[in-house]
Amino acid sequence: MEAVRTLGLCLELIGVLVFVGVLFQVRLGLRPLRRLREQLAEVRAGRRERLPVDQPIEVLPLFSRLGDAELATLAGKFTQSRHAAGEVIADEGLTGRSLVVVTDGTVELTLSGPYKGRLRQGLATRGDHFGDSDLGPAPAVKALSAVTLLTLDRAAIEDEAIAVRIARHREECDRLKGHTNSHGEQSIELLAVHAGEPRLPTTFVDYELDPREYHLSTIQTILNTHTRVADLYSNEIDQLREQIRLTVDAVKEREEWELLNNSQFGPLHEVAPRQRIPTRGGPPTPDDLDEFLTLVWKKPAFFVAHLRAIAAFGREATRRGVPPVVVHLFGAPFIT
């Protein structure tokens, strides 16, 4: 469906309203085809809503089947602890008995490597949690900054009804892993063989019946200018054309700002928790960029970053001896 969008600038010339417009076609709207997901709710504590420190468990997937009374019972069993930067909070193998929620700061999770080194398993920052999985060894935990943690010992879960519901949640997760991909979408049945005449599987790609809708908005303004401005100051520069140009530039800049920062659809507010990574400590480094590239599942053309983030990354890369190369494309500098 096509529509005509009008970028209109109104010019007031001695009581006469003159309309100057630019017409071009744009799509009226998009309906995204989003594959149906069967995964359980999984969000970071405190990312979608600011929760009190003593009530961090309402958004933890492990407790998604519990009622309000049961959540209140478990919330009272959390213990709060503060740790200084550089402190080893837990040795390897000890965190598996506790559920830990990071309410402030950043911690590093590591395991022993095969060559006497430490293998980083990830970073946990405000709103992250760990210790809710029984698979694999429990990593060592070290504070990279001053941190505040909320810890729940599994032995403190004494209510049998709560334990049964948590067990059912784990069973549901195991069931979904059997026929869904890493994004929670229904797996597409495939067969890769070269011998015989096997029976080919049948599959179906299902979509959400009511996907999220993104409503379009318009950027509008009215430009008022007086004839004496155009008469007195248009010898060197056409004031009417110049003021229209400045207004159009402001509209385009506002459009770019909305695409990134709008609270309804801007990437800064809509990025999934799994696509967020903290820096290893302070400004972004080449190591952080490598970690960032592991989350890119399509070939990126470019990355958008804040000017201060670009400058900080350039300093860290130069300090490492790998200064970024700057190329000029379409009259603008790009760091490669």
Q: What is the pLDDT of residues 135-193, one digit of tens each?
A: 567 888 999 889 999 888 877 776 677 777 777 777 777 777 777 877 778 888 888 88
90 forms beta bridges with 141
Question: Quick one: pLDDT at residue 18?
Answer: 34
Question: Quick one: pLDDT at residue 46?
Answer: 37
pLDDT at 254 over 90: yes
Q: 57-61, 62-66, 111-115: lowest mean pLDDT where?
A: 57-61
Mean pLDDT of the 254-268 span: 87
Domain with CATH 2.60.120.10 in the chain: 31-213
Q: Which residue has the higher pLDDT, 241 or 177?
A: 241
Q: For residues 250 and 262, what is the distance between their CA atoms, to the nearest angstrom?
A: 16
Mean pLDDT of the 326-331 span: 83
How would residue 84 be classed by pLDDT, with cut points 50, 70 and 90?
A: very high
Mean pLDDT of the 274-287 span: 84
Mean pLDDT of the 220-233 span: 84
Superfamily of domain 31-213: Jelly Rolls (2.60.120.10)
